[in-house]
Amino acid sequence: MSLEAARTYLASPHLEPELRAELEPLVAAAAAGDAAAGVEVNDRFFEPLAFGTGGLRGIMAAGLRRMNKPNVRRTTLALAQVAKARAPQAKTALVGFDTRLQSDVFAREAARVLAAQGYQVYLGTRPLPTPFLCYAMRKLGTACGIILTASHNPKEYNGYKAYDDKGAQVVAPWDAEIEAAMAQFPLVPEPPAAEGDARIQPIPAELEEGYLALGLSLMTRPEGFRPAKVLYTPFHGTGIAFVPELFKRAGIPLEICAAQAVQDGTFPTAPRPNPEEIAAYKAPLADAERLGADVVLANDPDADRIGLVAKRNGTWELMSGNDLAALTLDYLCTLKRLKGTMVTTVVTSDLLPVVGRHHGLEVMWTLTGFKNIAICMNLIEKRGETYAFSAEESFGMQLSDQMRDKDGVLASLVVAEMVGYYKSKGMGPYEAVEALKARIGAYHNRLVNLEDPRPGGAVRFAEAMARIRQAGLTAFAGERVVSWEDFQTGLWHGEGREETIVDSPDRREVATPIDRSNVLKFRLESGAFAAFRPSGTEPKLKVYLQSRTDEALLDRMETEARQLLGL
């Protein structure tokens, strides 16, 4: 079937010559019985790219499961069709791109398709951060938006984030309708006619000014503030377009890692440009040591995530997303007196909502991913409530209600100011976290990334999840399980009863059920938890662990989780 699909793909008169030249010898080898070629052809054609937590994402090459111009055209045609039905009054769209290889080419192709479909299209003229593009979508009132980015994946990858008429990444029903519409179009759609190109124009420059002003408005400007020495790295990405200017206008000095300030889609100094991995910080840490910096702040290439590295007992350590989010929330609540509702995810540390409640905030929970947090932000707006803050453990937070995605750019300014605030009190970031936990309570968290690359790995993870779900757990890591949540059925189990899992359990009168997902979460008598979340498409599974006592419990929990999953 995959070989047949590949031949159909090659038969299209609209396939780009470079893609044809790459694919033809591979298909010929597979047809001649080359096993490796057959596996590769199958991987490229057995199914289309699907909308995951971060949109479409794949290796750049020819094929149905790869990122390329035909897939960009096909997806954009489907997005336009759904947007016309879902947001018929809006006549504009926005397309942006990051520093990755071919991102600008794919963005131009997407913009031309939208223009040919009748939209007035705003197209970025240079690589721009995802959060700014999301801000621009809402200010322009677009029917839909597209950002060509693969976030922090290696250089071989690119991706396609699709946004709805509220400037949020598409979720149900948009995502399913887009995938259904894609099936109606040829595997290799015809390129758009040039007549529509006149409807493409740059993103208005005044929106950049508005975005920078928004960032300045988020500052707390504490009395007696003295800036810390901050070194910034954009990991060869888009953050360099805004972060230095933002700090300049704020009057906060900023050192920049010159080696990683160059916008380069090959990521020469950080092959995995992920702020969640300390290995990516090799170049900036060398600069930080030489310059005597207090902290290193990092954005991933599309600048929607933020990472912080600081010294702990004399050694540079990467702060967890859980701790950084909780510390930032406590700082903003203390100095800006935040009010309203905050949003967190079901796999994020309990430290974050406990801090929020400590300061009088209401709390909403949702599934992993800022596209789900955006749903909650829309609900908060619909209820007439005030949005306060949102974050998740994977280094993402949103400090403003003006966007519907995470923002590492504006967060970098607030975090830098926070580091200076604590420095003026004689504390580094880690000392500040310990002081927070001394007030609020101890929370130790760990993310365990599991992979089973053997054939059938994804199936084995699915079977393991089914076994755990069917058997249930009464004890885990030597502790009694007091309750568990099955997000696939939408039910909480505990105290001999069942309840629907809702986004606002403290206010069930206004709460709505959380969407279904293949996630299991078990709470233990000490306040610990273990959550299991498999990938829907890859042989990968994430286990999120929390201990209220010590790291030794995390070790026991990880060991037992691996045993449960057969690893």
Residues in Cβ contact with 227 at an 8 Å cutoff, skipping those fewer than 6 apart: 252, 253, 416, 417, 420
Q: Tell me how far the alpha carbon of residue 60 is from its chain's centroid.
A: 20
Q: Nearest 5°: CA angle at 419, between 413 and 425?
A: 140
Compute the distance between CA of residue 9 and CA of residue 13 in angstroms, rounded to an integer: 9
From 2, 12, 103, 151, the catalytic residue = 151
Q: CB-side exposure of 154: number of CA atoms within 13 Å?
A: 4
What are the two backbone dihedrals, phi and then psi, of residue 297, each rounded to the nearest 5 degrees? -110, 140
Given its phi and psi angles, is residue 524 left (phi above 0), alpha (psi -120 to 50 degrees) or beta? beta
Quickly count helices (H) and strands (E) in the chain.
18, 23
Contact by Cβ (8 Å): 189, 70: yes
151 catalytically annotated: yes
Find, among 136, 143, 177, the residue nearest to 51 by Cα: 177
Find, among 106, 38, 99, the residue nearest to 71 by Cα: 106
Give CA torsion, residues 148, 152, 158, 160, to 10 deg.
-40
**Strands 120-123, 200-202: pairing kind:** parallel
Given its phi and psi angles, is residue 428 left (phi above 0), alpha (psi -120 to 50 degrees) or beta? beta
Hey, which residues are catalytic here? Answer: 151
